[in-house]
Structure 1
Amino acid sequence: MSDLATVLIFTYRRIPKKLIESLKANKISKYSILYIFSDGFKNETDKEDVLKVRKFIKNIDGFKRVNIIERKRNYGLSSNILDGITTIIKKYGKVIVLEDDLIVSKDFLEYMNEALDFYKNNKQIWSIAGYSPPLKCLKSYNKDVFLAPRVNSWGWATWKDRWEIVDWDIKDWEEFKRSKDSIRKFNFGGNDLYKMLELQMLGKIDSWAIRWCYNQYKYGAYTLYPKYSKVKNMGFDSLGTHNNIKNDKWFVDISNKKIKLEHVWPDEELISCFKNYHDLSFYSRVGYLLRKYGGYNVAKKIIKMLKLK
């Protein structure tokens, strides 16, 4: 294995204790450089949690070097990630990106670094995913990795040459939204993709991930997924910035099974299965309409209250 990728953690109100413990269980963590970006608090209510996070991260060890960036103001998740990755990837050329609500396998860093080295010259691969959804079709799939036309932000990695060509402003939006064929192709990764991008362009959401995903589509690229998930998301709680309603659909068991890397090509049957898994449910469609036309936050609070009863 050549030089190890720099690891980036983005945090806000949640103390990333479980994530750090799981990373330190990786044999090569002590050889890895870690950057932690602690976002500034939005208000006095969040201040106490942010200060607790900063107290915790100042005592982290078990890595080659720990660098802490404390934001003096609240950037928000999207800006914090975009600025952080852009700054670090210019210096190191490749990054592994994590958020504070994740837990990783004991070989997560090994898998990520090996995949970054193995696929670095394959420009068809846009990023490496650590999380993999529990697709039933994977049970009969005979390889350890597969390609999907959708990025995943729950533990992932990429290279400088992919990151630097991204158009974060989506300058071709007006042209794209008028092309039914382009929208259909973009939605090969799930029919929620166009709707999320639309909400982004309308200013209804602030997502770096959907813009990252759209640029992958524009370049005809894919994300490489492991058959066995190396990441679990624990962020469906009150501390989550976006995912704060529990959803068992995305639950997986973390696998420590060795991933065999090999050159793979898009599998139409698997991509169809992947798309069906990500397609919007009835309730998600309603959520999209509420976001677009108003009432989403009120509806989310009501649902949350009903689930707590």
Structure 2
Amino acid sequence: MGLGRLYITSANRVFAGIEGSPKSAYRVIGVPYDSTTSFRPGTRFGPDAVRLAAAGLESNSAFIKDVFLEDLSPYDEGDVAVSIGDTNETISRVETVIRELSSSGLPVMIGGEHTVTLGALRAFAERNPCVVMFDAHLDLRNEYLGLKVGHATFMRRALEQVRVPKLIYVGARALSREELEFVRTRSNIAVFSPTDIMALGPVNVASSISSHLKDCEGFYLTVDMDAFDPAYAPGVGNPEPLGLTPYDGLYMVSRIVDERLLGVDVVEVSPHYDPGGGTAALAAKVLIEAMIKHYVSSKDSKQRRPS
């Protein structure tokens, strides 16, 4: 048993109700943590809500025919045993767990607040991961509400601790002057706002993202549900108007994911602000689309290899 197993506890239910195989290449893990949340708490209940919502969805992809989630047999490991109030310890535990899961499959993480993604990125530090981040915010502040490590600063810390050749934002539209000035000093950061997506269309934006990723050996996909407009995803910690539509977001996720995907997460689902359950359902669909596309791309890649 690896050290990561010491930090995993059982969850109330499994993702999509699928009793997957422990030998599956897709390893689901929840991180019920929201200690640095600054506006609407409750994302600690996100993993359970997303698992339940997934069970109510059909398991097919909206973009890939004849492949179903059960074909992948995803295995739900349970939840990281977080350390309430100790963000650094929780991040370290996430890092340990994700590193261990990545040795035998694709980690599929459900948050929790966005800070937990820092642990996942540190787990892949030796692989120099490019990052695609769907988010209304940049999360690049140096400090926020007295915190150096929190949901509004985690990507700044990630860039300090992990070599990230490319950081690509999708849906960003709420940023501080400090963050804007920081981005302007970095040639490896690209930002596609909802205005860009409306002007160019999701097909062209997805193609541009793929072009940015063409030299990346591997990349991590993180989806903060506030990237979507609150009309479609109201149950988040920091809702911001003028976000993505479900079609645009899901289409771009499906287009950009390929066999180089190192891991994926959805974060910031706050069920108490999600009266109809639409946010949790959309988060579950993001993971389903990402897993199915990775599965298909990985099979195609193996078939293309010379024998």
Q: Give yes or no for TM over 0.5.
A: no
Give TM class, smaller chain: 0.3 to 0.5
- Structure with bigger gyration radius: 1
